[in-house]
Structure 1
Amino acid sequence: MADKRTTTPAGPSTSLQRGKACLRCRKRKMRCDGVKPACQQCTKAKKGDACEYDDGKGKTRTQLMREQIARLEARVKELEKSSSSSSHGSPPANLSLSASASPTPFPLDMDSSPWDSQWNGIPDFPAVNGITDSYATEDPPIELAQMLLEIFLPHRHQVGLEVHVGRLRDSLHLPLGEQRHPVLMNSIYLWACYLSRPGSLCEHEPLYLSRALAAVNDAVPNPSKVIDFIQASCLLSMYFLSNGRLLEGSYHASAAASLAIQWGLHQLGSTDLTVGVIPCDRESTFRLNPAKDAIEQGERVLAFWQVFNLDRCWSVALRRPATIPDSKHPWTSVITPWPQRMEDYETGELEINSGSPTIQAFFVHQAQVSPVVGGFSTFAHRVKASALFEGASRLSSSWYPRLSSSPSFTENFRAFEHTITRFTTTLLPLHQLAATLPDEKTSLLLIHSLAHASMIHLHQPFLEDQGSRETAVRAARSLAVVAKHISDTDYDYLDPFIGHCWVLGSEILASEIAQLQAAWSPHPASSELRVELNTLLFSLTKVAAKFPLFGYQATKVQKLLDAI
Structure 2
Amino acid sequence: MPRFLRRLTGRFSTSTISPALVNSMQLLTLQLVDDPQLRSHEPQLLSRVLQALAAATANINPATMIEILQAEVLVSFYFFNRDRKLEGGYHATAAVSLAVACDLHKVRGVQGGGSTSPSSGAHYRLPVPADDVEEGERIQGFWVVYCVDRCWTVALKSQSVLSRGDFASQIETPWPIETSNYEQGQYPQALRHRNLPTVKHFLENAASNGWDRSCLALRAQVSTLFERATDLANQWNPGAPGFQTRFLALDNRIEHFKRSLPGLSLTEASSSQDDRPAQTDTEKLRCMLCCHTLVQCATIQLHTPLQQGQDPTNSRTLAAAIAAANLLREVDVRSLSFVDPIMGVLWSTISQVLIQGIVNLRRMRPRQSSSGRSATPGAHLPGEMVVTSALDCVQMTLEALSGTSPLLERELANLRQARFEMHPNV
Normalising by structure 2, report the TM-score.
0.85
Preserved contact between residue 334 and residue 401 of structure 2 (Cα < 8 Å): no
Preserved contact between residue 227 and residue 300 of structure 1 (Cα < 8 Å): yes
Q: How big is the shift at 1:539?
A: 1.1
Q: How big is the shift at 1:407?
A: 4.8
CA gap 1:543/1:500 in 2 versus in 1, 3 angstroms: farther
Cα deviation code 1:238-281 (max 9, x no counterpart): 1011111111111101111011111111111138xxxxx44489
SS in 2 for 1:300: helix
Matched, 1:456 2:292: no
CA gap 1:280/1:211 in 2 versus in 1, 3 angstroms: closer
CA gap 1:279/1:499 in 2 versus in 1, 3 angstroms: same
Higher RCO (CA 8 Å, separation ≥ 6 residues): 2
Q: How big is the shift at 1:383?
A: 0.7
Cα distance in 2 for partners of 1:207, 1:258 equals 27
Matched, 1:360 2:197: no
Matched, 1:241 2:80: yes
SS in 2 for 1:495: coil
Matched, 1:265 2:104: yes
SS in 2 for 1:386: helix
Matched, 1:500 2:358: no
Cα deviation code 1:345-390 (max 9, x no counterpart): 1122333242110111110015525x7xx31211100111111111
1:389 aligned residue: 226
SS in 2 for 1:533: helix
Between structures 1 and 2, the one with greater helix share? 2
CA gap 1:282/1:537 in 2 versus in 1, 3 angstroms: closer
Preserved contact between residue 334 and residue 400 of structure 2 (Cα < 8 Å): no
The residue identity in structure 2 corresponding to 1:359 is V
Cα distance in 2 for partners of 1:282, 1:442 equals 35
1:48-127 map, 5 Å: none
More off after superposition, 182-191 vs 404-413: 404-413
1:172 aligned residue: 8
Preserved contact between residue 102 and residue 124 of structure 2 (Cα < 8 Å): yes
Q: How big is the shift at 1:467?
A: 7.2
More off after superposition, 342-351 vs 417-426: 342-351
2:278 aligned residue: none
SS in 2 for 1:462: coil
1:41 aligned residue: none
Matched, 1:182 2:19: yes
1:142 aligned residue: none
The residue identity in structure 2 corresponding to 1:167 is R
Preserved contact between residue 333 and residue 400 of structure 2 (Cα < 8 Å): no
Cα distance in 2 for partners of 1:358, 1:503 equals 31
Cα deviation code 1:264-311 (max 9, x no counterpart): 11111138xxxxx44489898521111111111110111111110110
CA gap 1:414/1:556 in 2 versus in 1, 3 angstroms: same
SS in 2 for 1:405: coil
Decide which structure has the larger Cα Rg and report it. 1
Percent identity between the two aligned chains: 29
The residue identity in structure 2 corresponding to 1:396 is A
Cα distance in 2 for partners of 1:249, 1:506 equals 23
Preserved contact between residue 265 and residue 300 of structure 1 (Cα < 8 Å): yes
Matched, 1:476 2:312: no
Q: How big is the shift at 1:327?
A: 5.5
The residue identity in structure 2 corresponding to 1:429 is G
Preserved contact between residue 237 and residue 249 of structure 1 (Cα < 8 Å): yes
Matched, 1:412 2:270: no
SS in 1 for 2:174: coil
1:525-536 map, 5 Å: 525-536=383-394
Equivalent residues, number = 388
2:183 aligned residue: 346
Preserved contact between residue 258 and residue 324 of structure 1 (Cα < 8 Å): no
Cα distance in 2 for partners of 1:194, 1:428 equals 30
1:132 aligned residue: none
CA gap 1:193/1:329 in 2 versus in 1, 3 angstroms: closer
Q: How big is the shift at 1:559?
A: 2.1
Cα deviation code 1:61-114 (max 9, x no counterpart): xxxxxxxxxxxxxxxxxxxxxxxxxxxxxxxxxxxxxxxxxxxxxxxxxxxxxx
The residue identity in structure 1 corresponding to 2:212 is G
* Partner of residue 543 from structure 1, selected from 381, 389, 401: 401
* Partner of residue 299 from structure 1, selected from 107, 125, 137: 137
Cα deviation code 1:368-418 (max 9, x no counterpart): 25x7xx31211100111111111111111111xxx2323511111111111
Cα distance in 1 for partners of 2:331, 2:192 equals 36
Stretches of structure 2 lacking an aligned partner (at least 5 in a row): 272-280, 366-377
Preserved contact between residue 82 and residue 406 of structure 2 (Cα < 8 Å): yes
SS in 1 for 2:219: helix
* Partner of residue 552 from structure 1, selected from 391, 410, 413: 410
Q: How big is the shift at 1:489?
A: 3.9
Preserved contact between residue 326 and residue 333 of structure 1 (Cα < 8 Å): no
The residue identity in structure 1 corresponding to 2:398 is L
Preserved contact between residue 203 and residue 253 of structure 2 (Cα < 8 Å): yes
Cα distance in 2 for partners of 1:524, 1:232 equals 50
SS in 2 for 1:324: helix
Cα distance in 2 for partners of 1:312, 1:503 equals 18
Cα deviation code 1:119-171 (max 9, x no counterpart): xxxxxxxxxxxxxxxxxxxxxxxxxxxxxxxxxxxxxxxxxxxxxx1111111
Q: How big is the shift at 1:555?
A: 1.6
Preserved contact between residue 337 and residue 353 of structure 1 (Cα < 8 Å): no
Cα distance in 2 for partners of 1:356, 1:326 equals 19
Cα distance in 2 for partners of 1:195, 1:439 equals 15
Normalising by structure 1, report the TM-score.
0.65
Preserved contact between residue 233 and residue 304 of structure 2 (Cα < 8 Å): yes
SS in 1 for 2:170: coil
Preserved contact between residue 381 and residue 447 of structure 1 (Cα < 8 Å): yes
Preserved contact between residue 311 and residue 323 of structure 1 (Cα < 8 Å): no
Q: How big is the shift at 1:552?
A: 2.0
Cα distance in 1 for partners of 2:222, 2:77 equals 18
Cα distance in 1 for partners of 2:259, 2:160 equals 27
Matched, 1:379 2:379: no
Q: How big is the shift at 1:187?
A: 0.3
Q: How big is the shift at 1:551?
A: 1.9
Matched, 1:433 2:259: no
1:204 aligned residue: 41
The residue identity in structure 2 corresponding to 1:231 is Q
More off after superposition, 254-263 vs 533-542: 533-542
Matched, 1:524 2:368: no
SS in 1 for 2:308: coil
Cα distance in 1 for partners of 2:123, 2:389 equals 58
Preserved contact between residue 325 and residue 333 of structure 1 (Cα < 8 Å): no
The residue identity in structure 1 corresponding to 2:203 is F
